[in-house]
Amino acid sequence: MIRTAQLLVFGLLYLAVFVFSLLALIDAARRPSQAFVAAGKRTKGFWVGVTGACTAVSFAAMPPLGAPLGFLVLIAAVGAIVYLVDVRPALGSGPRRPGPRRSGGW
């Protein structure tokens, strides 16, 4: 019973790391290369590589594959969190599409 609960908790944690890594990968891939340079961060290729590796490791560790990659999943979580907490905010909101202009008054 306790073992089942532990496996469930670890499975949910691995799933969360996978989702965060995937979100970081998608965000890094969609950003223009110039945004990374302008923000004073490493290159786009570097961050796509880091978040891609994080996504691959966290995917391989999820059940039912369940490869014994516990320590690597921790490193993958750190890589994804660094991107999401430090790099992504520094990049800003990115290029915006022009929307309809509104007048200031009635």
| 45-68 pLDDT, tens digit each | 999 999 999 999 999 888 776 667
Has residue 4 been placed in a domain? Answer: no
What is the pLDDT confidence band of residue 70, given thresholds at 50, 70 and 90?
A: confident
Has residue 2 been placed in a domain? Answer: no
Has residue 41 been placed in a domain? Answer: yes
Asked if 50 and 76 count as a contact pair (C-beta separation under 8 A), the reply is no
The 8 Å CB, 24+ separation contacts for 50-53 are 50/79, 50/83, 51/21, 51/24, 51/25, 51/79, 51/80, 51/83, 52/25, 53/79
- The number of domains in the chain is 1
Mean pLDDT of 11-31: 94
Residue-level pLDDT at 95: 52
When the pLDDT of each residue in the chain is averaged and rounded to a whole number, the result is: 86
Mean pLDDT of 14-36: 94
| pLDDT greater than 60 at residue 14 | yes
Residue-level pLDDT at 90: 93
Pair of tokens at residue 56:
């691959």
Domain that holds residue 34: 14-91
Has residue 97 been placed in a domain? Answer: no
